[in-house]
Structure 1
Amino acid sequence: MIAQRSHPRLWLLLAGTVLTLLLSVTVHGDARAETPRPDAPTRGLTAPVVVPSFWNSERRLERPDAADLPKELRIVTSDDYPPFNFLSAEGVLTGFNVDLARAICAELQVACAIQAVAFDSLMEAIEQGRADAALAGLVATPGNRAGLDFSERYLGTPARFVARKGQAPADAVPETIASKRIAVVSRTAHEAYLRSFFNEAAIRPYPDLKSAQTALRNGDVDLLFGDGITLALWLNGADSAGCCVFAGGAFTESRFFGEGFAVAVKAGNDKLRHAIDYALQRIWEKGVYTDLYLRWFPIGFY
């Protein structure tokens, strides 16, 4: 069994299922851009960054008993998934997931041993007892749940619209972009979503993301729709040449875009899973999560 990572592969993994679904049923309801509350300050950025929250502040989780926790929490991740987990120029394992793992250990007051393994070996490391948890952009798919249990999600994988600077619509809803030309990668969950909720627009499928990005940059289309994380990294990188900005809010329909990232533990290890849930909520409440998000995602994807 191979674990699945939701970014950058999630929309490819979901595409077949979603396209089949669209052929067999009619999807009802409106396309809605969901924007979490803006709890984060701007921190000197040119535009406010909305930091997502997946925790109910009114829900009080019980602090885990230290006797139920290992003295050292062994966490595995991968090293090929920037900016989540990767090797720095100095060869040091770093990234958002790595910092979040350390924050979990600190909140639980246990030592932290973080090791990089091949992504396809993450589940095996947990199942064979060589690691207690995996924090590497894992998705709690039905297949993965056969051998693992998962914490509550700590990050979603929303979809976003991108437009050229100065040409972004005030809001990205079906009524306002019905006349727009929209680039999207063909045969993905993002194309399926557009054809379900934005079918009055001129949808332009492209064979890969780079082609779609080039079309937007060159003005061949008005908008690009795709994975928000991937697009945020593109906007913040040299390849975009500063051409474009996000338009509208985040689309978070889990049936199309998945449930998001979660921490994996061995199936049946409820004590550790509950402890990680507790730590994640406390990390959010203390503002540590916000600091990490702003550090690693200067262009937020929500």
Structure 2
Amino acid sequence: MRFKSLLIAAAFATAGLCGQAFAAQKVRIGTEGAYPPFNQVDSKGNITGFDVDIAKALCAAAKLDCTIVTQDWDGIIPALNARKFDAIAASMSITEARKKAVDFTDPYYTNKLQFVAPKTSTFSPDQLKGKVLGAQRATIAGTWLEQHAKGAQIKLYDTQENAYLDLAAGRLDAILADKFVNYAWLKSDAGKDFEFKGKPVFNNDKIAIAVRKGDTSLREKLNAALKVILADGTYKKINEKYFPFSIY
């Protein structure tokens, strides 16, 4: 009986070890939570949006046990490198400067930058001198303004929402932001009196998930998962939930 009990105990121990071996990898994913419709916190405290849905779909396809957390945009890369989370899914553009601090997955959508101004305005992207222009801080929109809007007054904001508030209040002549974020805002009550002005000033902004430098394992798992959700229709369903056109 004692020998039999030992065998049973050993079997349970082995099963426990196997369970641990096949347990899903736990991954924490950071997002801003203030960039609708890509990431935001709803009235019930839930983190939602296109970035969040894509991240969850990637985790499911890669069989990862993921938790989504929020982090202010300005500190999101330092927080990743401080190991507060393992990846960033926050509509982050791939730039040469950022590639020095993080590694990126394959892009999961392509963005454009376009100005928005009041419908009654004669604002033109070809005449920026003397204008008061806004963008979110630490974004390619802000960088574009600093490099190209010579003679304009540039105001940079901690969140995109605060930039929209100043535009709506008449404190800005126009803002430059991601076209798809602007698209969603223009459909809202707050944006009904505004419109796109001119053509996009930048067309090939690739958006990807960031991981810590050297985290090849997680990056490859996410890349493989992206191929899966593109092939099985999951990506298309998420895209159609937010936009009537493809943003991939």
Identify the match of residue 56 of structure 2 among 71, 94, 102. 102
Aligned counterpart, 2:9 = none
Distance 2:101 2:146 in 1: 31
Asked if 2 retains the 8 angstrom alpha-carbon contact of 1:76 and 1:136, the reply is: no
User: Which structure has more helix as a fraction of its residues?
Assistant: 2
Change (3 A) 1:282 1:91: same
Asked if 1 retains the 8 angstrom alpha-carbon contact of 2:109 and 2:247, the reply is: no
Letter matched to residue 226 of structure 1: L
Deviation at 1:121, TM superposition (A): 4.5
Question: 1:278 aligned to 2:188?
Answer: no
Deviation at 1:260, TM superposition (A): 3.4
Distance 2:103 2:28 in 1: 15
Aligned counterpart, 2:184 = 233
Q: SS at the partner of 1:233?
A: helix
Deviation at 1:109, TM superposition (A): 2.2
Aligned length: 209
Deviation at 1:280, TM superposition (A): 1.7
**1:56-77, CA deviations, whole angstroms, 9 ceiling, x for partnerless residues?**
xxxxxxxxxxxxx982341322
Aligned counterpart, 1:123 = 77
Deviation at 1:101, TM superposition (A): 0.9
Aligned counterpart, 2:13 = none
Distance 2:195 2:245 in 1: 9
Deviation at 1:253, TM superposition (A): 4.3
Q: SS at the partner of 1:271?
A: helix
1:1-302, aligned counterparts within 5 Å? Answer: 71-83=24-36, 84-160=38-114, 185=133, 189=144, 226-227=176-177, 228-240=179-191, 242-243=192-193, 246=196, 250=200, 252-254=202-204, 259-297=205-243
Deviation at 1:137, TM superposition (A): 2.6
Q: SS at the partner of 1:91?
A: coil
Letter matched to residue 183 of structure 2: A
Structure 1 alignment gaps of length 5 or more: 1-68, 166-176, 196-203, 216-220
Change (3 A) 1:300 1:206: farther
Q: SS at the partner of 1:261?
A: strand
Structure 2 alignment gaps of length 5 or more: 1-21, 120-124, 135-141, 156-162
**1:29-62, CA deviations, whole angstroms, 9 ceiling, x for partnerless residues?**
xxxxxxxxxxxxxxxxxxxxxxxxxxxxxxxxxx
Asked if 2 retains the 8 angstrom alpha-carbon contact of 1:265 and 1:272, the reply is: yes
Percent identity reads: 25
**1:242-282, CA deviations, whole angstroms, 9 ceiling, x for partnerless residues?**
3455578655445xxxx432111121122221221222232
Distance 1:264 1:153 in 2: 10
Letter matched to residue 112 of structure 1: C
What TM-score do the two structures reach when normalised by structure 2?
0.61
Distance 2:87 2:246 in 1: 27
Letter matched to residue 284 of structure 1: L
Quote the RMSD (CA, aligned, Å).
Answer: 4.5
Distance 2:145 2:77 in 1: 28
User: Which structure has more strand as a fraction of its residues?
Assistant: 2
Distance 2:182 2:246 in 1: 10
**1:158-197, CA deviations, whole angstroms, 9 ceiling, x for partnerless residues?**
12366988xxxxxxxxxxx99xxxx8838962696699xx
Q: SS at the partner of 2:180?
A: helix
Asked if 1 retains the 8 angstrom alpha-carbon contact of 2:145 and 2:154, the reply is: no
Distance 1:163 1:85 in 2: 23
What TM-score do the two structures reach when normalised by structure 1?
0.51
Which has the higher Rg, Structure 1 or Structure 2? 2
